Structure 1
Amino acid sequence: MRKYFEEFEPGSVRDSTGRTITETDIVLHAGQTGDFYPHHMDEEWCKQQPFKKRIAHGTLVFSVAVGMTAGVINEVSMTYGYDRLRFLQPVFIGDTLRVKVTVRERKEHKRPGYGLVTEGLEVFNQRSDLVMVCDHLLLVEKRVPGDAAH
C-alpha cells in the first residue's frame, strides 16, 4: 500500500480485531526480556498484592498493541517513534485487547519530502476499560515534495 502524507486525514479512526493475552505470552515475554518480576510470574505472591493475580508486562501490552495496528505495510511510511506512553489499568491473563487508532495531526518535518503524522493509540480490554495509550509518530513521504501540510 502507498498512503502519502497528504492522504492522512486528522480525525480518521480505525479499529483492530481482538487479541487475548495468554499465559504463554507472559512466559515468552519474560524469557525474551529477562523480566521475571513476581508481578508477572508468581501467582502466590500476587495473591498478597493489590490486584490479587499476575499482570502482563507493560512492554508486552505495548508490543502486542502496536502489532495489532500493523495490518498493512505502507511503503512510503516508517515509524519515527512513540510519545506519551501510559499504562492506565493492569492487563491480566485472559483479557482481550482491542486498539483504536486516531490520526491526530499532520505537520511538517525537517527531512525534505516528508511530513510527520501523529496517530493516537488507545488500547481497551473486553470491558471497554482504557488500559494503555500512546502517540505513534510516523515519518511519511509526501506525494509532492515541498507541499505544506493542509
Structure 2
Amino acid sequence: MRTVTRYFEDIAVGERRETTGRTITESDIVLHAGQTGDWFPHHVDAEWCAAQPFGQRIAHGTLILSVAVGMTAGDINPASMSYGYDRIRFVGPVHIGDTIRVAAEITGTREHPKRPSAGLVDEQVTVTNQHGAVVLVLTHVYLVDRRPA
C-alpha cells in the first residue's frame, strides 16, 4: 500500500482502474458464514445444492461485495473515506473456484449538501467472473476533502 493524497478537485469522471483476479474458496465461504451467522444452505450444504437448479454452492453476495471492495483498496488516501454503497445488485452467482476481477470507474462528482469542505465521488464497481460474466455491480460513494485554500 502507498499513501496518495488526492483531493476532490483532482478526481475526474472517467478515471478507471482494474484489479487482478482472486479465486473464491470454500474457506472464504465458511469463514464468512461464521462471521455473519448466515448458514443458509445455498452457501454451505453441497448435497442440498446438488438437488437445486443452480447445482452447487454459491458464495454469499455480501462476501463477494466485501472481497471486491477490498480488491480496489490499493492506495490509502487521507483526504478520502468511504461514505457508503448505493444500488448494490447481485447479478450472478459466484461458485467455489470462480475467480473474480473488479473494474472501478469514476462516474460522477457532486457537492456535499452539508459540508462545503468536501465533495462526493461516485465510483461504479463491476465484478466479473473468469468467463467475463458480471456477478455484482454497485456504486461506491466516497467523501473527499476539497483542497485546502
> What band does the TM-score fall into relative to the shorter chain?
over 0.9
The 2-side partners of 1:95 and 1:8 are apart by 33
SS in 2 for 1:62: helix
Gaps of 5+ in 1: 146-150
Matches within 5 A, 1:88-107: 88-107=91-110
In 1: Cα distance, 2:72 partner to 2:62 partner: 16
Distance 2:119 2:53 in 1: 44
CA offset digits 1:29-79 (Å, max 9, x no partner): 000000011101110100111110000001100000000000111110010
Q: Deviations over 1:78-111 (max 9, x none)?
A: 1011000000000000000100000000111121
Report the equivalent of 2:141.
137
Give the alignment partner of residue 126 of structure 1, picking from 107, 130, 148: 130
Corresponding residue SS for 2:67: helix
Query: Out of 117, 124, 133, which is 1:113 matched to?
Result: 117
Displacement, 1:112? Answer: 2.1
RMSD: 0.8
Provide the C-alpha distance between the structure 1 equivalents of 2:78 and 2:131, rounded to a whole number of angstroms. Answer: 35
**C-alpha distance in structure 1 between counterparts of 2:124 and 2:10, whole Å:** 17
The answer to whether the aligner puts 1:34 opposite 2:53 as a matched pair is no
Ranges of 4+ aligned residues in structure 1 off by more than 4 Å? none
TM-score (norm 1): 0.95
**What SS is found at the alignment partner of 2:58?**
coil
* Equivalent in 59, 83, 88 of residue 56 of structure 1: 59
SS at match of 2:63: helix
Find the aligned partners of 2:82 and 2:140 in 1 and give their Cα distance. Answer: 7
Residue in structure 1 matched with residue 24 of structure 2 by the alignment: 21
| Match status 1:67 vs 2:59 | no
Cα shift at 1:144: 4.2
Equivalent pairs counted in the alignment come to 145
**Length-normalised TM-score, structure 2:** 0.95
The answer for unaligned runs of 5 or more in structure 2 is: none
- Code of the residue aligned with 1:119 in structure 2: it is E
Amino acid at match of 1:124: T
